[in-house]
Chains A and B, each alone.
Chain A
Amino acid sequence: MHASLMDLIAWLGVDPNFVQQLINGLTLGSIYGLIAIGYTMVFGIIGMVNFAHGDVFMLSAFIALIFFLVLTTIIGIGSVALALFIVMLIAMVLTSLWGWALERLAYRPLRGSFRLAPLISAIGVSIFLSNFVQVAQGARNKPTPPMLPDVIPLFERDGYVVALSYKQLIIMLTTIVVLAIFWFVVQRTSLGRAQRACEQDRKMAALVGIDVDRTIALTFVLGAGLAAIAGTMYLLYYGVVNFADGFVPGVKAFTAAVLGGIGSLPGAVIGGLIIGLVEVLWSAYFSIAYKDVAAFCILIIVLTFMPSGLLGRPEVEKV
């Protein structure tokens, strides 16, 4: 298989560096996509930008870090992969609890109110969370012990080895599995139906007996759970986390959600992948300094021509 892939690549004349960057970009894009779903889901159901979502993601990375240390140094689990899996589950549970508590505290009292009030509240929560983590955990970068450093060399050309690291493999596989489960939840379960009903018309959903408050709370819980997976993956990929790390990935994921068409779940994933790819390819071929500028410019250009994003429903104003 290796040989044939190598032949194919050679035949296509593809730059091996490009293939490598593609792999890196898709990995990063997976993380963005997972966060972006949280934005898009909450927006879809209550029409609100949960600005604190990036910080929930950062919080989950901290939870993952702490439990990883607990498992490896205190309990002494030898297998990093097993430890990661347990850590991910714990982080999902605890981050979901945070998501639930934040919805209860900061957003539910503002439901049905002035549109900008929840946005400001969410910005307040975002500021609160990052400073809470700073106060509780300190302002320094928190590096993890080295995790899964091995790589799988895919092929080699002109002395350039294209490799897929175990980390990248785990991140992409996890994303695919999680998305498949998530897709099932949204499409096939009563929760998913309730969510879609609330998206269409919250009052009507309440009238036909859907518990709207519970559905919205569960949406926040689901979003936080996905953010926790992204947080664990982020920690695994970069091996370091800081209290201020919520903002930039949060904004990028929000960008991804809007790019894909906010409210659309596949759009969020596609948007995430595009942002990840643009960022990585731009850094590889042009300049690292302007990678974020490139991502934002893509956003502005796409929205200029497609005002509701790639897969978003165009907002038809009834006249």
Chain B
Amino acid sequence: MAASARLPAGAVSAAPEPPRPAPGFADALRDALYAALITLGLSIPLLALRTEQGPNGLVLEPRWGLVAACCGIVFVGRLLLRLLGLRAVPSRRSMAARGAVTTRAEPERQSGFALSALLGPVFLGIAVTFPLLAYLSAGGLTESRYWVDLGILILTYVMLGWGLNIVVGLAGLLDLGYVAFYAVGAYSYALLATTFSLSFWICLPLAGILAAFWGILLGFPVLRLRGDYLAIVTLAFGEIIRLVLINWVDVTGGGAGISSIPRVTFFGIPFTNDETGFLGWMRWLLGWRDGAQGSLGWLFGPEGPTFSPMHRIIFLYYLILVLALITNLVTLRLRRLPVGRAWEALREDEIACRSLGINTTSTKLTAFAIGAMFGGFAGSFFAVRQGFISPESFNFLESATILAIVVLGGMGSQIGVAIAAVAMVGGPEMLRNLGFLSHVFGSGFDPNEYRFLLFGMGMVLMMIWRPRGLISVREPSVVLRERRAISGSHVKEGHG
């Protein structure tokens, strides 16, 4: 419960009093008292009285001890903060006068530029060797499964983040329904594979094309819309797709979804435990056939390579890594092409774009289409990995997470998006491993319950910490003499 008590604590930490150089004890005490009172007000019904289903309707179960504990924590925390002269949320009043408009000066962060140049290779190195690292640290192929699965999950979000980055980060078009294209990709593969028995390798490009088509379809009605109108229409579009998937039971299987989707193959060779499977071919290739010893015996032992379901998982890991890297390379290249520059120009000033003869309609549509296409690829990867999909996987929370990854990463920054994806996906996952806390909070404590609670709070805190994202500098797409980073304070965020 300490977690939920932190909200009121923070709420008051940005209290209205103008900052004082050395707060007296009495002031701090009064301030902490206010904080505790507000906490009391906020927690009165929701924490203090829990509704439980009784035999004749709901009954109330008082938990005043919990409320007292919360208020106490807030009181002590606030008091300490004040006495130590710290503010959880630093005051950003530009003018001391009350009522002054609060604006925030963005510090120049040239250092981020050099940092991102360094981070890229490091990240790539870790990503490429990750299954090996997991194997070594977990002490076995099967044991490393959790880590490789987590790696796949993170990379999927990295790819989705990079895809959405084209629309939001480069073209400046706010898209709250990106998950729709992820769903289109997933269902395209699932339906094509289950009804026409098409292989994944044929479906993957088809799924991308279909998603791009839907991207254009969404693009048309929203071309004239700006800002929040665009946001709600894209959100509505995402919801429409999800609702249709739920309700069009004949085709999509409704809420039950589609199961037994064919698994991924090694370019046509299935990952099965027999002669014709991936392992069989590997053994044959390495010379382990007809009982003979093949090469690489020092690695595999006298029996040769043996079957493990992990082969497929590791293959999936590298598949999503390659897909994500393709997304990255294509985006980096597009930025240096006229279309990419036109996207960024569109984000900066649509009217100026038009005055330079740029067809803003087609420029916006290509941004939607290409962003959607990568979403579609990621979606069909998701379907082939899970083997089962249902509309529940494509709710608004997904869109919000992907958008948060893009914004937190720093709009337009590729490496920033990757870091943000690790933080946003890996972070909550780590919370699953906090079972030891049950020793502190009693056996009824389940950290899983608090995952999304903390996730939501984390989003708020990260935005307050870095409103322009982790890496807010922009790298120029073309250079005459000297490459210099552009401070985020110049870069506009787009109208759309």
Contact = CB atoms under 8 A, between A and B. Distances in A.
Interface of A: 43, 49, 59, 62-63, 65-67, 69-70, 73-74, 94, 97-98, 101-102, 104-106, 108-121, 123-129, 131-138, 140, 142-145, 202-203, 206, 209-214, 247, 251, 254-255, 258, 262, 287, 289-290, 292-293, 296-297, 299-300, 303-304, 307-309, 315, 317, 319
B60 A73 contact: yes
Nearest to B8: A101
Given A212-B100, A214-B98, A300-B221, 8 more contacts: A66-B46, A113-B104, A116-B407, A128-B453, A206-B100, A262-B229, A287-B247, A303-B229
Q: Is the interface of A mostly helix, strand, loop or mixed?
A: helix
Given A123-B400, A133-B46, A300-B236, A143 B351 contact: no
A184 B396 CA distance: 37
A112 B460 contact: no
16 contacts: A49-B232, A62-B45, A94-B41, A104-B11, A105-B10, A105-B14, A108-B102, A110-B467, A113-B104, A131-B455, A136-B4, A136-B46, A145-B57, A145-B58, A211-B98, A308-B229
Interface string B446-482: 0001101101111110011001100000000000000
B467 A303 contact: no
Contacts of B101: 111-112, 202-203, 206, 212
Interface in B396-418: 396-397, 400, 403-404, 407-408, 411
Nearest to B49: A66
Contacts of B42: 94, 97-98, 101
Contacts of B51: 65-66, 69, 137-138, 142
Interface residues of B, number: 79
A43 B247 contact: no
Interface in B222-254: 222, 224-226, 228-229, 231-233, 235-237, 239-240, 243-244, 246-247
A124 B46 contact: no
Contacts of A137: 46, 50-51
A289 B407 CA distance: 34
B44 interface: yes
A213 B98 contact: yes
Interface centre among B104, B226, B453, B460, by most chain A C-beta atoms within 10 angstroms, is B460
B365 to A, nearest CB: 15
B92 interface: yes
Contacts of A315: 226
Contact of A255 (B59, B168, B236, B408): B236
B225 A112 contact: no
B236 to A, nearest CB: 4
Contacts of B456: 124-129, 131
Interface centre among A105, A138, A258, by most chain B C-beta atoms within 10 angstroms, is A105
Contacts of B235: 251, 254
B186 interface: no
B236 A94 contact: no
Contacts of A113: 104, 467-468
B442 interface: no
B290 interface: no
Contacts of B224: 304, 307
B443 interface: no
A114 B237 contact: no
Contacts of A120: 403-404, 407-408, 459, 463
A136 B463 contact: no
> Nearest 8 CB-CB pairs, A to B?
A124-B459, A128-B456, A127-B456, A211-B99, A117-B467, A112-B103, A296-B236, A101-B11
Given A69-B58, A135-B449, A303 B102 contact: no
A74 B221 contact: no
B419 to A, nearest CB: 16
B59 A101 contact: no
Given A94-B44, A123-B459, A128-B453, A258 B229 contact: yes
A49 B234 CA distance: 14
A279 to B, nearest CB: 12
Contacts of A132: 4, 7, 46, 453
B491 to A, nearest CB: 9
